[in-house]
């Protein structure tokens, strides 16, 4: 039996007592946990010590690199196109990847977007796209490269071989109350993105009611940490700090978010979805050496839409097929006339989840037609009896709990009342 280089209890003591782990200790810890020598109970103690006491920049970098080294890496250096990617920390109505990837690809840039599924109140990009008949999330590396060369954009599931240590650690954090530890969030996201092999990365780090981290200062710290990790790994990285106090767009769900994304690609769509798509596209294209690209023109002249159709078709989908529609709907009317002054993101995300648009466990199915269609946004004038939003589901018994989640989540006031949005859509840009 081989002699282990360290004793995990000693390393737990170091972080418990606010000490600093060496590169060698971190490399051993992640390797030993991946191969099962370090038990879940021991790694749980370590993650709690990190949650409480934090990590230095060098420790976070070492943790990220160790998780990358636990599995495979991808290499797109042989492509004829420059690569650039985007990651969002997730929110309510956040469908930006769908219009963004083909928009950026329409400029001759490759976008290898490895995406995930939703859990809880935040939706998953793959769940949304699987609303499209025939579309496949799982494609092999060789086919991925072919599509990137031919079309320019791929949105697909990451293989299990990419940063497997992160997969184990992520599941553990979810059941030990350590999900919000910034060093662990940053290393989790960036280990996968760096292993993915993109040469540039733009991060959409959200704050507010419907965000992973509610507090803008915490979100700012996370953004800075991830930008530093990217730069340290040789990936051109920047971040936009964006507002998730109000749902993004008018659609919350799966199929309805695909419809809204197509509207944006056709040159329309809600102003906030369009604005964030354009801002992120400009940032991605600047990293790819195209700082003056006319992004708005590509939405208006059909180039982005053509790339969308080609991207969906390349993964087996029918971009012209009808999308699922709900069997049951329930319309909530405005109880009085006035101004919609508040619309909190988190309760609407929870309501959509309860309607069947999300899942409580990773293995749960989703209803592609379930979700919420908003008919007004904060600042809009409404009249008594006017539809405020429509709840969609295939199972009408879900309506009661969804409506319960929305109690106090929206408010109609009078002209002159403060509109509760939590600030501008894009709070700031964070670069190297």
Catalytic residue annotation: 87, 166, 173, 188, 192
CA 213 vs CA 65, 69, 111, 176, 241: distances in Å: 24, 28, 27, 17, 12
C-alpha 125/C-alpha 127 separation (Å) is: 5
The strand pair at 426-430 and 387-393 is best described as unpaired
CB atoms within 10 A of CB 5: 12
The β-bridge partners of 387 are: 333
Q: Which of 251, 244, 247, 253 is nearest to 129 (CA)?
A: 253
Q: Which of 319, 330, 274 is nearest to 300 (CA)?
A: 274
Q: Which of 247, 225, 231 is nearest to 181 (CA)?
A: 225
Contact 226, 186 (CB under 8 A): yes
CB atoms within 10 A of CB 208: 24
Token pair 């006319």 is found at 294
Residue 21, both tokens:
């782990």
Q: Return left, alpha or beta for 134; rule: phi > 0 is left, psi -120 to 50 is alpha, else beta.
A: left
**What is the sign of the dihedral through the CA atoms of 350, 353, 359 and 360?**
positive
Token pair 């109505």 is found at 93
Angle subtended by helix axes 303-314 and 97-105, to nearest 10: 110
C-alpha 70/C-alpha 201 separation (Å) is: 22
User: What is the chain's length?
Assistant: 432
Instruction: Kindly give the residue spans of alpha helices, DSSP state H, lying in 78-157.
Output: 97-105, 125-129, 141-150
């Amino acid at each position: 039996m081989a002699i282990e280089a360290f004793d995990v209890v000693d390393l737990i003591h170091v972080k418990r007592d606010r000490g600093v782990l060496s590169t060698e200790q971190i490399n051993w810890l992640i390797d030993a946990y991946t191969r099962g020598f370090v038990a879940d109970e021991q790694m749980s103690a370590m993650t709690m010590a990190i949650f409480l006491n934090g990590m230095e920049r060098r420790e976070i970098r070492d943790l990220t690199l160790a998780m990358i080294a636990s599995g495979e890496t991808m290499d797109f250096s042989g492509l004829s196109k420059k690569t650039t990617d985007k990651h969002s920390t997730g929110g309510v109505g956040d469908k930006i990847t769908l219009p963004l990837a083909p928009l950026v690809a329409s400029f001759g840039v490759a976008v290898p977007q490895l995406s995930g599924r939703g859990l809880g109140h935040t939706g998953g990009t793959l769940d949304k796209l699987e609303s499209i008949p025939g579309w496949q999330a799982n494609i092999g590396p060789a086919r991925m490269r072919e599509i990137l060369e031919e079309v320019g954009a791929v949105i697909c599931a990451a293989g299990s071989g990419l940063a497997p240590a992160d997969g184990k650690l992520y599941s553990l954090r979810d059941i030990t109350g350590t999900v919000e530890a910034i060093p662990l969030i940053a290393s989790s996201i960036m280990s996968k993105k760096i292993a993915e092999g993109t040469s540039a990365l733009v991060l959409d780090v959200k704050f507010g009611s419907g965000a992973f981290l509610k507090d803008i200062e915490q979100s700012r710290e996370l953004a800075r940490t991830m930008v530093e990790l990217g730069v340290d790994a040789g990936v051109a990285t920047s971040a936009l700090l964006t507002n998730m106090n109000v749902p993004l767009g008018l659609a919350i769900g799966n199929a309805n978010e695909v419809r809204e994304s197509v509207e944006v690609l056709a040159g329309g769509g809600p102003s906030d979805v369009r604005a964030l798509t354009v801002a992120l596209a400009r940032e991605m294209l600047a990293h790819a050496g195209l700082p003056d690209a006319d992004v708005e023109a590509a939405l208006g002249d059909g180039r982005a839409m053509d790339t969308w159709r080609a991207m969906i078709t390349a993964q087996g989908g029918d971009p012209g097929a009808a999308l699922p529609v709900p069997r049951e709907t329930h319309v909530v009317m405005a109880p009085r006339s006035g101004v919609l002054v508040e619309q909190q993101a988190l309760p609407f995300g929870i309501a959509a989840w309860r309607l069947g648009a999300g899942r409580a466990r990773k293995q749960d199915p989703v209803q592609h037609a379930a979700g919420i269609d908003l008919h007004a946004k904060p600042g809009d004038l409404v009249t008594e009896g006017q539809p405020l939003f429509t709840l969609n589901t295939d199972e009408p018994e879900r309506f009661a709990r969804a409506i319960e989640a929305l109690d106090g989540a929206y408010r109609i006031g009078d002209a002159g009342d403060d509109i509760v949005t939590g600030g501008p859509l894009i709070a700031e840009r964070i670069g190297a």
